[in-house]
Amino acid sequence: MKKTLYEVGNWSPTDCILSLGCGAAWWEIKQTMEQEAGELLLLDTNKDVLNWPDLDEAIAYFEEQYGKKATTPTSIFHADAAQIPLSDETADQIWLLNSLHELDNLEAVLAEIDRVLKTDGCVIVEEILSGGMHDGCGKRLFTRSEIVGLFASHDLHVVYEGSKDEEADYIKFGR
């Protein structure tokens, strides 16, 4: 059964959400317009893709679409996911939305996820689980068992699995 990101994440209006490798963050802005969060932290290395003028444009677009003002405070970080510039146990949820396959040094990324995720937090991975090549970036995609194994090595275990759409799946991890 297909679910929305909110149905999988079920975040509260006080939750801090960190999105790693978020690109232009249109999807994240859309999600927090539909369901407010306490804070949205956006991390991507590419300053040409993730920047305030483009983010302000996305916010304005979704404010017009939904007929309401954006209320979730949002911050931008230009950093490598292997060196997240946040304090320990900052995030209630960490999102990897079609980005895990693009990240380098996955062991360091997972160690950082483990460090910045709150004890009762969760990680939501949205990926195409084909093991083939990603059409957009040309990088190899993971299989389900590869992703589950990566997260299990950091004591993060599957708490939910399901389809996002015809191509992508969600896997939610908790401690």
Q: What is the pLDDT of residues 109-127, one digit of tens each?
A: 999 999 999 999 999 999 9
In which residue are the tokens 């444009």 written? 57
Joined together, the tokens standing for residue 64 give 């017009």
pLDDT, average across residues 140-163? 95
Give the span between the Cα atoms of 72 and 58, in whole angstroms.
13
**Taking the CB of residue 131, how many other CB atoms lie within 10 A of it?**
12
For the chain, give the percent of residues with pLDDT over 70. 99
Asked if 39 and 17 touch (Cβ cutoff 8 Å), the reply is yes
- CATH classification of 5-174, choosing from 3.40.640.10, 3.40.50.150, 3.40.50.880, 3.30.70.100? 3.40.50.150
pTM: 0.96
Give the span between the Cα atoms of 166 and 168, in whole angstroms.
6
- Domain limits of the chain? 5-174
